[in-house]
Amino acid sequence: MGVVAGILLSSWRLGVTAAVLAAIVDTVLRARTASTVPAWRRASVAERRTEAQLKRLERGGYRTLHARAIPNSEAQIDHLVVGPTGVYAVDSEKWDKRLPVRVQSHRKLFHGPFNQKPRLDEARWEASQAAELIGAALGHEVAIVPSLAIYGPAIPWKILNVREVDVFDGSRVRKWITKRERSLTDAEIQRIYEAAEQVLPARYPES
């Protein structure tokens, strides 16, 4: 009986290992065979899911600009939200749900074996560039909170700040924004929104 149990346990472990390896290989292959259609020509599934959530914030006084380019770069802020609780840069990510998400010492974010430091650095840089451009247009400093809204794998925390970027499950984006205290007046929201609209060009072409 013990021998049989040992064989079954060993087979189970091999099966799990094989599944994880298959997911890793599939992720790498997908990255190498990604569509050649430029990203700015289409909104991702993750972006559309976040956009649907943010639309529900409009009645609360929030304004959102979607797919805004950072001038002189290939970078894009998927969603720039301006509202009573502040200004937020939300990047929506659809990750392979078969690979676990974990952190090390609040400084390293991993999706399976893949270190997501470049993605965190990019999100932080995008927000800082947007803040600099909007602040210059208004003549005063504007703080923008960077974030990654992740869809797919289970996220084993509610909201976690990793390398100065808030990371959370995409379904929490509205709570993440509205849980903060009010910091902007209606007039300030309007001015920041209009400045952002001017200095951050739309990535998608006008139809």
Domain boundaries, the chain: 1-34, 37-199
The 3-state DSSP class for residue 177 equals helix
Q: How many CB atoms lie within 10 A of CB 175?
A: 12
Separation CA 108–CA 116 (nearest Å): 7
pLDDT of 9 higher than 60? no
pLDDT the model gives residue 18: 43
**Per-residue pLDDT at 139 exceeds 50:** yes
Predicted local distance difference test score (pLDDT) of residue 106? 83
**pLDDT (average), residues 39-50:** 74
Lowest mean pLDDT among 37-41, 65-69, 115-119, 133-137: 37-41
DSSP at 44: -
Residue 29's CB: how many other CB atoms inside 10 A?
Answer: 10
* Mean pLDDT for the stretch of residues 23-39: 38
Q: What is the pLDDT of residues 62-116, one digit of tens each?
A: 999 999 999 999 999 999 999 999 999 999 999 999 999 999 988 999 999 999 9
Task: Give the DSSP H or E segment for 136.
Answer: helix 117-138
Q: What is the pTM of this model?
A: 0.79
**pLDDT in the model for residue 127:** 98
Specify the pLDDT at position 105: 87
